[in-house]
């Protein structure tokens, strides 16, 4: 292999939490997009990846691959048996910076966890994951990323409508694929011994300074507080924050029916399957805590099996820190976004008023924050008292770093680029990727990607299933 050796650390450490499984061979695979920068970071030559041996790796035609088992709460309801229904873990490697990272193949065909699906993935959602991951990464947000998106050369059943869609594969790079749902599966099916081994594996891999299961709970809670705070300031709506989509590493993962705010709305929901608004934009911090509470429940037998009440008290004490960790992370980033320099409580109060005004006036989330960060108070013109408070907090002083991007994956523009890819034209999605990978730099010719575009009312996203 041209590049770092591929290991099976997860399967070797936790054999009860995966099954050996090989991806189905696609009939005519072709690279739709290769993340050459990430390939080099992993230690792979992009030219080699495009060759026969590299394509064997990218399509999962190698030895030792596995499908991972996990459970989870989906829209609040426990599902004891989920897992990699259409994916395989290719393995893990140590990259050029000494970090251990997973390679994971999505759309790889049916596995023992397929739950009735065909195991295929359509091109549009796989490209959506690539775009969202690259944008979040460029904005400094911990996230999984796409190494490659490939077409498979076969049509697959449509998600909506009647026309077949082009099949695709996503090669995802992650710190790991350990999820809250992985711990739930171990606790529900395998007992304290395996759960304890999983806890130790997660600590070693992601949070080496954590002390036991309570230390892991705190580390994951802190990392999730930081992650969701960043999502909120960027206006990112994950769309399906089930416990199987919460990674123990603190990275964002599984970008299915996600979207980005155009107008600022706390209640914004874009996912076609979130009919009750459980995962609305403004609910994300609270849902993260709900998921962490389910994580804590799964850990209780390895916290203190002999005195369950004490285990509950200890885990609760850890979780009580979440709101403060989130508030601190959010206030720090909010102050930078607003271009002010004030005490956290003052920043939070100011931000609440600013966002209430933006929602009332139906103003664009990204452009409004970027203007304020640049010292322009025009967006506050209809509330002179608020504008005065913003200036009193340091707004308009100038010389501050602007932390709100110019380019975000605007819903309409991204959807149009994915439709073009469906028709065989990859140029628009490549242009979108180019824009969001350098999101803070204004460039000529990309003006059409700066704003929300036409037809944003009622925009809906669909799962890539």
pLDDT tens digits, one per residue of 12-32: 999 999 999 999 999 999 999
Distance in angstroms (rounded) separating the CA atoms of residues 268 and 401: 28
Residue 161, pLDDT score: 66
Structure tokens at 258: 């996600």
The pLDDT tens digits of the residues spanning 393-427 come to 999 887 789 999 999 999 999 999 999 999 999 99
Residue 465, pLDDT score: 47
Question: pLDDT band at 118, cuts 50/70/90?
Answer: confident
Mean pLDDT score, 131-155: 97
CB atoms within 10 A of CB 394: 17
Mean pLDDT score, 38-52: 97
- 321 lies in some domain: no
Mean pLDDT score, 151-162: 82
- 415 lies in some domain: no
Residue 463, pLDDT score: 66
| Domain of 124, in residue numbers | 9-180
Candidates 244, 262, 274, 383; catalytic one: 244
Phi (first) and psi of residue 199, to 5 degrees = -60, -45
The pLDDT tens digits of the residues spanning 297-355 come to 999 999 987 888 999 999 999 999 999 999 999 999 999 999 999 999 999 999 999 99
Whether the CB-CB separation of 252 and 143 falls below 8 Å is answered with: yes
Structure tokens at 133: 């991951």
- 107 lies in some domain: yes
**Which residue, 359, 350, 328, 331, is CA-closest to 266?**
359
Of the chain, the percentage scoring pLDDT greater than 90 comes to: 89
Helix boundaries (H) for 108-211: 123-138, 180-185, 192-206
Three-class DSSP category at 79: strand
Phi (first) and psi of residue 461, to 5 degrees = -115, 160
Residue 256, pLDDT score: 87
Average pLDDT of the chain to the nearest whole number:
95
Domain count, the chain: 1
- 318 lies in some domain: no
Phi (first) and psi of residue 171, to 5 degrees = -100, 110
Residue 328, pLDDT score: 98
Mean pLDDT score, 187-199: 97
CB atoms within 10 A of CB 402: 17
Residue 464, pLDDT score: 58
Question: pLDDT band at 290, cuts 50/70/90?
Answer: very high
Mean pLDDT is lowest, of 187-191, 218-222, 270-274, 406-410, for 270-274
- 93 lies in some domain: yes
Of the chain, the percentage scoring pLDDT greater than 70 comes to: 98
Taking 60 as the threshold, does the pLDDT of residue 383 lie above it?
A: yes
Taking 60 as the threshold, does the pLDDT of residue 246 lie above it?
A: yes
Whether the CB-CB separation of 334 and 355 falls below 8 Å is answered with: no
Mean pLDDT score, 198-210: 98
Would you call 28 a catalytic residue per the annotation? no
- Is the alpha carbon torsion for 68, 73, 77, 80 positive or negative? positive
Taking 50 as the threshold, does the pLDDT of residue 84 lie above it?
A: yes
Query: Does residue 150 or residue 461 have the better pLDDT?
Result: 150
- 322 lies in some domain: no
The pLDDT tens digits of the residues spanning 169-179 come to 999 999 999 99
Distance in angstroms (rounded) separating the CA atoms of residues 346 and 284: 22
**Which residue, 357, 130, 136, is CA-closest to 232?**
136
Whether the CB-CB separation of 23 and 29 falls below 8 Å is answered with: no
19 Cβ contact list (under 8 Å, min separation 6): 66, 67, 69, 111, 112
- 227 lies in some domain: no
Mean pLDDT score, 38-43: 98
The pTM of the full predicted model, rounded to 2 decimals, is 0.96
Distance in angstroms (rounded) separating the CA atoms of residues 178 and 172: 14
Taking 50 as the threshold, does the pLDDT of residue 389 lie above it?
A: yes
Nearest-Å Rg of the Cα atoms of the chain is 22
| Angle value at C-alpha 195, between 191 and 197, nearest 5 degrees | 125
Residue 304, pLDDT score: 87
- Is the alpha carbon torsion for 253, 255, 258, 262 positive or negative? positive
- 57 lies in some domain: yes
Structure tokens at 38: 């990430």
Beta bridge partners of 146: 172
Residue 408, pLDDT score: 97
Three-class DSSP category at 258: coil
Which long-range CB contacts under 8 A does 365-370 form with residues at least 24 apart? 365/235, 365/261, 365/262, 365/263, 365/264, 366/234, 366/235, 366/260, 366/261, 366/404, 366/405, 366/408, 367/450, 367/451, 368/264, 369/233, 369/337, 369/338, 369/404, 370/402, 370/404, 370/405, 370/406
Taking 70 as the threshold, does the pLDDT of residue 390 lie above it?
A: yes
Q: How far is C-alpha 195 from the chain's CA centre?
A: 25
Residue 162, pLDDT score: 66
Three-class DSSP category at 62: coil
């Amino acid at each position: 292999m041209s590049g770092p050796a591929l290991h099976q650390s997860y399967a070797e450490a936790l054999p009860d939490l995966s099954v050996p499984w090989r991806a189905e061979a696609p009939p005519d695979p072709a690279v739709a997009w290769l993340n050459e920068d990430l390939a080099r970071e992993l230690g792979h030559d992009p030219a080699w990846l495009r060759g026969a041996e590299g394509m064997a790796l990218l399509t999962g035609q190698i030895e030792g691959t596995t499908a991972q088992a996990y459970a989870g709460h989906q829209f609040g309801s426990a599902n004891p048996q989920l897992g990699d229904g259409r994916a395989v873990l290719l393995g893990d490697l140590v990259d050029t910076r000494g970090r251990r990272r997973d390679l994971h193949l999505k759309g790889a065909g049916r596995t023992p966890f397929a739950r009735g699906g065909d195991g295929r993935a359509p091109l549009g959602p796989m490209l959506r994951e690539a775009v969202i991951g690259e944008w979040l990464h460029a904005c400094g947000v911990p996230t999984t990323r796409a190494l490659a998106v490939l077409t498979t050369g076969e049509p697959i059943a449509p998600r909506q409508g009647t026309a077949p869609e082009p099949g695709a594969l996503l090669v995802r790079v992650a710190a790991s694929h350990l999820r809250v749902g992985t711990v739930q599966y171990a606790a529900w099916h395998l007992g304290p011994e395996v759960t304890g081994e999983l806890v130790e594996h997660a600590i070693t891999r992601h949070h080496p300074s954590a002390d036991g299961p309570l230390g892991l709970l705190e580390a994951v809670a802190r990392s999730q507080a930081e992650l969701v705070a960043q999502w909120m300031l960027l206006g990112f709506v994950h769309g399906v924050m089930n416990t199987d989509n919460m990674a123990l590493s603190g990275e964002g993962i599984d970008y299915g029916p996600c979207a980005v705010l155009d107008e600022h709305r706390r209640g914004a929901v874009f996912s076609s399957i979130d009919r009750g608004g459980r995962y609305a934009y403004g609910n994300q911090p609270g849902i993260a805590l709900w998921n962490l509470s389910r994580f804590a429940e799964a850990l209780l037998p390895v916290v203190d099996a002999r005195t369950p009440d004490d285990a509950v008290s200890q885990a609760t004490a850890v979780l009580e820190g979440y709101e403060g960790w989130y508030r601190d992370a959010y206030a720090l980033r909010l102050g930078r976004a607003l271009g002010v320099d004030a005490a956290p409580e003052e920043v939070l109060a100011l931000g609440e008023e600013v966002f209430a005004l933006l929602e009332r006036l139906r103003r664009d989330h990204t452009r409004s924050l970027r203007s304020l960060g640049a010292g322009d108070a025009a967006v506050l013109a209809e509330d002179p008292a608020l504008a005065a408070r913003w200036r009193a907090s340091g707004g308009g002083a100038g010389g501050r770093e602007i932390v709100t991007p110019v380019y975000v994956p605007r819903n309409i523009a991204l959807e149009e680029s994915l439709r073009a890819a469906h028709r065989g034209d990859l140029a628009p999605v490549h242009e979108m990727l180019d824009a969001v990978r350098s999101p803070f730099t204004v460039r000529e010719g990309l003006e059409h990607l700066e704003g929300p575009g036409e037809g944003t009312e009622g925009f809906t996203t669909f799962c890539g299933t």
